Amino acid sequence: MSWHLLGAGSLGSLWAARLSAAGHSVELILRNEQRLADYLRAGGLQVRQGEQTLRHALPAGLAGDPLPIRRLLLACKAYDAADAIASVATRLLPGSQVILLQNGLGSQQAVADLLPHSQCICASSTEGAYRENDFQVVFAGQGQTWLGTSPANAAPDWFGELASAGIPVSWVSDIDSRLWRKLALNCAINPLTVLHDCRNGVLRAHESEVQTLCDELCQLLARCAPEAAIGLHETVWQVIDATAANYSSMYQDVQQGRRTEIDYLLNHACRSAEQHGLPLPALKQLQQRLQQYLQQRGLPCR
Ligand code: NAP
């Protein structure tokens, strides 16, 4: 059975390349005629890992093509997810399965609301990839991807195909909790790296600010995903130390004048706090500072 990939960017290309190299049929769905022409000119997807560069000349089409879709990887940014899925919704067969690779929270529900007859599988990934050029991706960091449904279900029968294709995946029964945990880590680290214009490790010099955010994030997690609150402070410091020399993804987006996923991370956290009637002043102030910073640079604050 074939896979379709909607969102042939950094992470999506990694998945497509590995599935295809393992002998699975994968078809890309590109944004428009122009992107399809760009792709054909590029001669396929190119993935570089260390010294090795491999080209994958996968078939590609457009959302409006007639062929039905049974298994879809949705690998666009969170803010594009709902529009992207709407463009192929009529092609998805009843009982089809859609893997959602978006970071943060909020986009998964928006997609699921549009797909009452498909099964949505959420993913949380620590793999790292970036685009060098159009359709040229660098596999920058080994990692792990956890997949699961909410509410929890058994893994689909094809799940083993992913691991045999070399994609490091685990099926979990607590994907919501994992998404919340990653969101909290992101909220404690990424906005501060933007506001202090620094690498992750420099946050050691802003210890009390990080600690206060962790305190408030724990209060939020206690309401939304209690398991995710356990040991949050320690994990935040572990991540800061382990990635001390790195610039966060949000920092890189801002530096390159790209839209951030703030609405699915910090804004989502603040909205959830309000819904629970939880006053979290440090988180709210962080949101205001970050939104102002983005606005000043002409970037969306949603
Ligand atoms: P990316 O490199 O920007 O790729 C997104 C792709 O989606 C682009 O190729 C874009 O097409 C495509 N797209 C958007 N709307 C579309 C539409 N309507 N139809 C067809 N294609 C569409 O993004 P990414 O870095 O892979 O991130 C994807 C998600 O994974 C994000 O939520 C991110 O936070 C998460 N994530 C990424 C990484 C990583 O290392 N990259 C790691 C963990 C999680 P165009 O090329 O035409 O713009």
Residue 74 pLDDT: 98
Start-end ranges of CATH 1.10.1040.10 in the chain? 177-296
In this structure, the residues whose C-beta lies within 6 A of any atom of ligand 1 are 6-12, 29-31, 35, 75-78, 80, 83-84, 87, 101-103, 125, 127-129, 131, 261
Q: CATH number of the domain at 177-296, out of 1.10.1040.10, 2.60.40.10, 1.10.8.50, 1.10.443.10?
A: 1.10.1040.10
CATH class name, domain 3-173: alpha beta
Q: What residue owns the CA closest to ligand 1's atom 3?
A: 9
**CA 258 to ligand 1: nearest atom:** 3
pLDDT digits (tens), the chain, 302 positions: 699 999 999 999 999 999 999 999 999 999 999 999 999 999 999 999 999 999 999 999 999 999 999 999 999 999 999 999 999 999 999 999 999 999 999 999 999 999 999 999 999 999 999 999 999 999 999 999 999 999 999 999 999 999 999 999 999 999 999 999 999 999 999 999 999 999 999 999 999 999 999 999 999 999 999 999 999 999 999 999 999 999 999 999 999 999 999 999 999 999 999 999 999 999 999 999 999 999 999 999 99
Which residues 6+ apart lie within 8 Å of 41 measured at CB?
Answer: none
Start-end ranges of CATH 3.40.50.720 in the chain? 3-173
Distance 74 CA to ligand 1 centre (A): 9
- Based on the residue annotation, tell me whether 284 is a catalytic residue of this protein: no
Q: What residue owns the CA closest to ligand 1's atom 47?
A: 31
CA gyration radius, the chain: 19
119 has which bridge partners? 97
> Do residues 153 and 175 make contact, with C-beta atoms less than 8 angstroms apart?
no
Which residues 6+ apart lie within 8 Å of 108 measured at CB?
Answer: 81, 100, 102, 120, 122, 150, 179
The active-site residue out of 24, 91, 178, 182 is 182
Which residues 6+ apart lie within 8 Å of 25 measured at CB?
Answer: 2, 3
Residue 210 pLDDT: 98
Q: How far apart are CA 98 and CA 11, in angstroms?
A: 15
